[in-house]
Amino acid sequence: MNAEIQSIIQAQRALFDSGVTQDVTYRKQKLKLLLKTLRLQEDRILDALKQDLKKHPFEAFGSEISTLMMETRHALKNLSEWAKPQSVSTPLIHWPAQSKIIREPLGLILVFSPWNYPFFLSLAPIIGAVAAGNCCILKPSEFSPATTELIKQILNEVFEPGHVAIIEGDGKTVGPELLSGPYFNHVFFTGSPAVGREVMKMAAEHLIPVTLELGGKSPAIVEVDANIKESARRIVWGKFWNAGQTCIAPDYVLVHQSCYEDFIRECKFYIQKFYGNNAAMSESYGRMIHLKHLRAVATFIQQGELLYGGQVNEQDLFIEPTLIKVSDLELGIMNKEIFGPVLPIVVFNDTKEALEIISRNPDPLALYVFSKSRSTQNTYLNKVRFGGAGVNMPLLHFATVDMPLEGIGTSGTGNYHGQYGFETFSHRKSILASPLFPDLRLKYPPFPALQGWLRWVLRKL
């Protein structure tokens, strides 16, 4: 490990061991200062996101800044209650003992954040970790440099270097270096399943617990009784938000065969309504993060019948909002996460067939069901394993602080947001306190002759 990283870790360990960050008042002060700084730096944040991903200011504010402010306010409002010792019931047989659970910080937290929502996904885990009383090191993506530079300035303004620090560099080099020893008490990673597996392997060498927020192929199902116009509008919005570079975006759509023609017509209508006849000229439409990713996404355009879009401009990092009809489920477009503005559409005949198609890519991070029938909605919600879901609306479950974002299986492990983030970065100590008197002698050897009677009493208790 290089000297700079080693120095940062040592400074964080010293600050944590001093007990400063465990003071709830101190935690609140830092969160209040962060909230104030976010307000003051709002225009600069929007400018950085424009530079990195060509995000429209409204889109950037809605998905990165306002959600982060909401997380911070929620933590400030509830932190005192979250941090309180929690009294729990004690079995009568242990009378007069009392039981409680206290929450203490884990220690040093390592956060790996991605490039697609580089501001929110960097700072949201840190809010939970700081609220719980930890020190943090952030390793942001090297592919969003303008946002990273601003995050560095904000962290330096709000936190002492020993409290929250940022380490930059190539993830393939810096990541293994940070995970080369038992330096951290928890690792939080947001990114692809492939890299998540490697992070988990390296952390496992040192028995470091890991939270993984990954992705996968999240389906949207448009059932026979769906409101087609509204379903198309919302799916187009959710898919092409941030140019499709959203881990919980609809990755493909299953459309009932009776609705297919109407659905395609409405999707085309809303793409043009949202972005005009030439999306390349729309201020509301973003760009790919870099050329390598653009080329990877562009390969999917040829894997089916082109229904709309398909234009690619490498110099502008632009891929047009694209609709593809897919009949061959063996193609890469149906077994790899797309993470871009290409939307495969598959026709199905009945619910059983739709469930079989979904089962080919199990454990999606998100599931979206478009149907007016509560029974139909519940069929999908109960029979599919998924992280989170939206009924007749994509994406918005992510922005609800009282619900966790949580993957399952290949889409991740562990959760955060609101109190769930606080709990993720806390250790729960279970404590039973027993007075010296009275002290029931029945539990000590030699055991009494009336064992049958005592067993009967214990069973009843």
The domain segmentation of the chain, as residue ranges, is 3-214+411-428, 219-406
Confidence label for 244 from pLDDT (cuts 50, 70 and 90): very high
Mean pLDDT of 144-156: 97
pLDDT tens-digit map of 44-84: 999 999 999 999 999 999 999 999 999 999 999 999 999 99
Mean pLDDT of 74-103: 93
Mean pLDDT of 270-299: 97
Mean pLDDT of 249-263: 97
Single out the catalytic residue among 71, 213, 337, 406.
213
Mean pLDDT of 312-324: 98
Assess whether pLDDT exceeds 70 at residue 117: yes
* % pLDDT > 90, the chain: 90
Mean pLDDT of 13-42: 97
Confidence label for 461 from pLDDT (cuts 50, 70 and 90): low
Mean pLDDT of 231-250: 97
pLDDT of residue 346: 98
pLDDT of residue 450: 61
Its pTM stands at: 0.94
Check for a shared fold between 3-214+411-428 and 219-406: no
Residue 213 annotated to the active site: yes
CATH number corresponding to 3-214+411-428: 3.40.605.10
In this predicted structure, which of 122-136, 172-186, 436-450 has the lowest mean pLDDT? Answer: 436-450
The CATH class of the 219-406 domain is alpha beta
Single out the catalytic residue among 135, 136, 247, 267.
247
pLDDT of residue 451: 66
pLDDT tens-digit map of 195-231: 999 999 999 999 999 999 998 899 999 999 999 999 9
Assess whether pLDDT exceeds 80 at residue 416: yes
pLDDT tens-digit map of 435-456: 988 877 777 787 766 666 667 7
> How confident is the prediction for the chain on average, in pLDDT?
95
pLDDT tens-digit map of 370-381: 999 999 999 999
In this predicted structure, which of 54-63, 89-98, 128-137, 397-406 has the lowest mean pLDDT? Answer: 89-98
Spatial CB neighbours of 169, under 8 Å, sequence gap ≥ 6: 139, 142
**Phi then psi dihedrals of residue 214, to 5 deg:** -110, -130
Residue 267 annotated to the active site: no
pLDDT of residue 4: 87
pLDDT of residue 453: 67
